[in-house]
């Protein structure tokens, strides 16, 4: 099992060779990398399907993308708050406590997920107009976001269980199931977005049924796929043997120690995602003032850029898990080596990704749109951001390593400073004279600055001295750990 391999490495005395470090990183990272690449590939198809409806439909989906990322960022923060505890408890050999945390996360999913869904549905009515959209684009964007909001409890559930399984050393199950979400979504898109029509494939014509729901069909497809696989994730958590396998009799009562640690670790991450996405929403509003072509080109370029950085998020998963378990096991030497190796891999991957973005910018955008104006503008901005990808990779993976150690406040403050102090300021300055190109120049500069400061924090090593579990522990909980009750 994956966890047994990690535990054996952490418990070994004496010097650990680089080859063993690299082997552990790659062993844990490759399923997450494959997962992210598959998610991106299917996202390409998903975006291309909507893009065939025209620039207005693409703009409607792209308009609320930053807001959707905001909510997903909050979900990710909550998932990190629970899953990093799981990783550190497993590294410390406290498997029962790790299971308690996993069980409490499910109750949190139900309560918090429903609350967020209610808020998001109410927000869906004024949101498109706040972002500067008008007419049909605003109406389609509101419907799309409203449907996505209804499915947010399932989205949180998938995020939570995926993170817990990964931090327990199981990256293969999330890879398979999250890829399945997108494959199901793609099939449902095909049936729900377009009307019934006659299609020709390899010289043979056949009738294809379709609901013809357009943008609304894309949203329904997404939440249906997520809800189905969320159920499968629960079956895996309760049915697959492993260090966090739960039983139906497991107590899911909230424990104050666990919740305090979730709050301490998750709040800075949530604030980071909120401020980052808030900045993205502000930038979206700026882009909305430039025009529909700019909105569509920006959305498609952002989607295309994910080809470059999605594998780095896979490496970041490995960084969080390995650093978290090493800290829990008291192996600070291994935690630093894991952090450096994973960050180096992330930079290398995104250097290659940046080259691909620059060379293949036009065909990447052409996948999504046939509008020559959208293609030309999207190609130009992709080539601008390509130069910033290596340091963007450094910030992604180093951030994962820092959070695995329980350092979530540092990445929050660094991201806050660079996003608002660099990207927003430059975007407001450059948008008027240069349009969307000016906004993406600002983005490239900010990514370079962010990656640099993350590397400085990682190499400084102060995060090695954070004791996340001790900070959240009460005397009663400590007694429970010792007795195993």
Residues 321-343: tens digit of each pLDDT: 899 999 988 889 889 999 999 99
Query: Higher confidence at residue 427 or residue 254?
Result: 427
Give the model's pLDDT for residue 310: 80
The reported pLDDT for the residue numbered 283 is 86
pLDDT band at 481 (very low <50, low <70, confident <90, very high): very low
296 alpha-carbon distance from chain centroid:
22
What's CA 326's distance to the chain center, in Å?
A: 23
For residue 436, the model assigns a pLDDT of 92
| Domain assignment present for 343 | yes
pLDDT digits (tens, 9 = 90+) for 116-141: 999 999 999 999 998 888 889 999 99
Assigned domain for 217 exists: yes
Band of residue 386 on the pLDDT scale cut at 50, 70, 90: very high
Q: Is 476 inside any structural domain?
A: no
Query: Is the confidence at residue 419, as pLDDT, over 80?
Result: yes
Give CA torsion, residues 318, 320, 326, 327, to 10 deg: 170
Res. 476: pLDDT tops 50: no
Output the pLDDT for position 276. Answer: 80
**pLDDT tens digits for range 87-115:** 999 988 899 999 999 999 999 999 999 99
- CA-based end-to-end distance of the chain: 26
**Structural domain of residue 426, as residue ranges?**
19-470
**pLDDT for the residue 323:** 93
Q: Where is pLDDT greater, at 180 or 250?
A: 180
Q: Which of 158-172, 195-209, 273-287 has the highest mean pLDDT?
A: 158-172
What are the CA-CA distances from residue 227 to residues 34, 160, 234 (Å)? Answer: 22, 14, 11
Reported pTM: 0.80
**pLDDT the model gives residue 221:** 93
| CA–CA separation, 151 and 51 (whole Å) | 23
Average pLDDT (258-282) is: 86
Task: Give the residue-averaged pLDDT of 53-73.
Answer: 82
Mean pLDDT, all residues of the chain: 86
Q: Is residue 230 part of a domain?
A: yes
The pLDDT score that the predictor gives to residue 477 is 44
Position 431 in a domain: yes
Q: Compute the distance between CA of residue 75 and CA of residue 155 in angstroms, rounded to an integer.
A: 8
Whole-angstrom distance, CA of residue 341 vs CA of residue 22: 7
Bridge partner list, 206: 199
The domain total for the chain is 1
Residue 269: predicted pLDDT: 87
Position 450 scores a pLDDT of 96
Query: Residue 430's pLDDT band (boundaries 50, 70, 90)?
Result: very high
Q: For residue 8, is it within any domain?
A: no
- Considering 194-203, 400-409, 475-484, the range whose residues carry the highest mean pLDDT is 400-409
Q: Which residue would you say has higher pLDDT here, 426 or 5?
A: 426
**Dihedral pair phi/psi, residue 185, rounded to 5°:** -60, -40
pLDDT digits (tens, 9 = 90+) for 209-240: 889 999 999 999 999 999 999 999 999 999 99
What pLDDT score was predicted for residue 155?
Answer: 93
- When pLDDT is averaged across residues 366-382 and rounded to a whole number, the result is 88
**Would you state the pLDDT for residue 478?**
43
Q: How confident is the model at residue 474 (pLDDT cuts 50, 70, 90)?
A: very low
Report which listed range, 13-27, 147-161, 207-221, 354-368, is most confident: 147-161
* C-alpha span between 240 and 164 (Å, rounded): 13
Assess whether pLDDT exceeds 60 at residue 483: no
478 within a domain of the structure (yes/no): no
What average pLDDT does range 449-454 have in this prediction? 97
Residue 355 counted as domain residue: yes
More confident residue, 472 or 150: 150
């Amino acid at each position: 099992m994956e966890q047994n391999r990690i535990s054996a490495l952490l418990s070994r005395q004496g010097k650990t060779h680089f080859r063993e470090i690299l082997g552990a990183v790659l062993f844990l990272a490759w399923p997450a990398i494959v997962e992210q690449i598959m998610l991106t590939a299917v996202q390409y198809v998903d975006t291309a399907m909507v893009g065939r409806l025209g620039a207005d439909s693409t703009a409607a989906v792209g308009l609320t993308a930053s807001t959707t990322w905001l909510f997903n960022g909050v979900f990710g923060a909550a998932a990190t708050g629970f899953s990093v505890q799981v990783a550190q408890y497993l590294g410390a050999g406290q498997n029962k406590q790790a299971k308690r945390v996993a069980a409490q996360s499910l109750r949190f999913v139900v309560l918090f997920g429903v609350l967020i869904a209610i808020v998001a549905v109410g927000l869906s009515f004024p949101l498109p107009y706040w972002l500067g959209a008008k007419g049909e684009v605003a109406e389609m964007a509101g419907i799309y976001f409203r449907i996505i909001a209804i499915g947010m409890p399932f989205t949180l559930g998938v995020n939570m269980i995926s993170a817990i399984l990964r931090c327990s050393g199981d990256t293969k199950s999330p890879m398979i199931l999250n890829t399945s979400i997108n494959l199901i979504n793609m099939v449902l898109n095909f049936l729900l977005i377009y009307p019934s029509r006659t299609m020709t494939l390899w010289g043979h014509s056949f009738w294809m049924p379709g609901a013809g729901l357009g943008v609304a069909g894309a949203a329904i497809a997404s939440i249906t796929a997520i809800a189905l696989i969320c159920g499968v994730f629960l079956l895996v958590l309760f049915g697959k043997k492993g260090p966090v396998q739960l039983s139906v009799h497991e107590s899911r009562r909230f424990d104050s120690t666990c919740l305090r640690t979730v709050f301490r670790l998750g709040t800075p991450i949530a604030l980071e995602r909120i401020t980052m996405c808030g900045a993205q929403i502000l930038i979206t509003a700026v882009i909305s003032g430039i025009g529909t072509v700019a909105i569509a080109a920006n959305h498609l370029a952002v989607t295309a850029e994910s080809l470059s950085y999605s594998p780095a998020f896979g490496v970041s998963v490995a960084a969080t898990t390995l650093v978290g378990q090493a800290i829990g096991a008291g192996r600070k030497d291994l935690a630093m080596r894991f952090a450096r190796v994973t960050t180096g891999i992330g930079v290398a991957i995104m250097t290659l990704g940046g080259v691909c973005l620059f060379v293949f910018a036009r065909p990447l955008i052409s996948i999504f749109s046939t509008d020559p104006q959208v293609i030309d503008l999207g190609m130009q901005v992709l080539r601008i951001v390509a130069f910033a990808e290596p340091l963007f990779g450094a910030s992604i993976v180093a951030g994962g390593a820092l959070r695995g150690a329980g350092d979530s406040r540092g990445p929050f403050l660094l991201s806050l400073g660079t996003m608002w102090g660099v990207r927003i300021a430059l975007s407001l300055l450059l948008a008027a004279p240069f349009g969307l190109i000016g906004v993406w120049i600002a983005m490239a500069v900010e990514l370079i600055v962010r990656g640099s400061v993350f590397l400085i924090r990682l190499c400084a090593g102060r995060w090695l001295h954070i004791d996340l579990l001790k900070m959240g522990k009460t005397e009663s909980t400590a007694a429970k750990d010792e007795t195993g009750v």
